[in-house]
């Protein structure tokens, strides 16, 4: 990705499930608001405090995001990750019909010119934590901030919003979340201008992979 904000966004995506949710959403919120310096100062400390190890590629993203200044000593102290990153979470599609928060998210995501898909998953043995996943976003930082604030307005104290930019291969955490998710919205074939129609898929806990049905203009 491009500058410090983009590198920080990609790194925070890769840290999903590794940094605590309350830390991750706050760093993403700051980044979405353009507060690059606070993220640069606090992200290396958060990694050290939570003993989160990084691959060489992730360390490069951290340098790009945090700069090569006063934080470099902290960056060098972050543990190296030598083996594969294995997530430890269980994901499931969750309730069938979208609630108000999901409907609001659908309205927001369809306004991004690049986004092709919005999925919802429930993480945890009892589905305690909602996870929203967006694919191919054109404005991933902005979209992350808006969706996080929307979920917090609906009572989610630590919103988990994973907005993948175009061309990024989903990390293992996101691959598992996608498999255990329900498709809420997808863009129809063709360009957004020529084919604005979308598809909404609803599921029940007994039927995790139904066939899509055309969305009404009000729902999508």
pLDDT value, residue 213:
38
CB 143 within 8 A of CB 108: yes
Distance CA(33)–CA(7), nearest Å, equals 15
In tens digits, the chain (220 residues) has pLDDT values of 479 999 999 999 999 999 999 999 999 999 999 999 999 999 999 999 999 999 999 999 999 999 877 788 999 999 999 877 676 899 999 887 899 999 999 999 999 999 999 999 999 988 899 999 999 999 999 999 999 999 999 999 999 999 999 999 999 999 999 999 999 999 976 444 444 445 555 543 333 433 333 343 333 3
User: Which bin fits 190, alpha (ψ -120 to 50), beta or left (φ > 0)?
Assistant: left
The residues near 142 (Cβ < 8 Å, ≥ 6 apart) are 32
pLDDT value, residue 216:
38
pLDDT value, residue 88:
83
| 119 phi and psi angles, rounded to 5 deg | -125, 155
Distance CA(140)–CA(145), nearest Å, equals 9
pLDDT value, residue 217:
38
The residues near 171 (Cβ < 8 Å, ≥ 6 apart) are 13, 14, 16, 85
> Tens digit of pLDDT for each residue in 44-79?
999 999 999 999 999 999 999 998 777 889 999 999
CB 156 within 8 A of CB 88: no
pLDDT value, residue 204:
39
């Amino acid at each position: 990705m491009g500058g410090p904000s983009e590198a920080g966004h990609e790194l925070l995506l890769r840290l999903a499930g590794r940094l605590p949710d309350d830390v991750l959403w706050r760093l993403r919120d700051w980044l979405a608001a353009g507060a690059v310096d606070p993220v640069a100062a606090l992200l290396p400390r958060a990694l050290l405090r939570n003993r989160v190890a990084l691959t060489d590629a992730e360390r490069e993203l951290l340098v790009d995001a945090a700069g090569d200044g006063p934080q470099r000593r902290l960056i060098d102290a972050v543990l190296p990750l030598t083996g594969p990153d294995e997530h430890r979470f269980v994901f499931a599609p969750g309730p069938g019909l979208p609630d108000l928060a999901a409907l609001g998210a659908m309205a927001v995501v369809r306004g991004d010119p690049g986004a092709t898909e919005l999925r919802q998953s429930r993480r945890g043995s009892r589905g305690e934590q909602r996870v929203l996943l967006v694919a191919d976003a054109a404005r991933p930082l902005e979209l992350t901030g808006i969706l996080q604030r929307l979920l917090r307005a609906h009572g989610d104290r630590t919103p988990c919003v994973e907005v993948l930019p175009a061309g990024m291969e989903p990390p293992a955490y996101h691959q598992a979340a996608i498999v255990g998710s329900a498709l809420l919205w997808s863009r129809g074939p063709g360009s957004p201008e020529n084919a604005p129609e979308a598809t909404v898929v609803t599921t029940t806990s007994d039927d995790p992979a139904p066939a899509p049905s055309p969305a009404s203009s009000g729902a999508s």
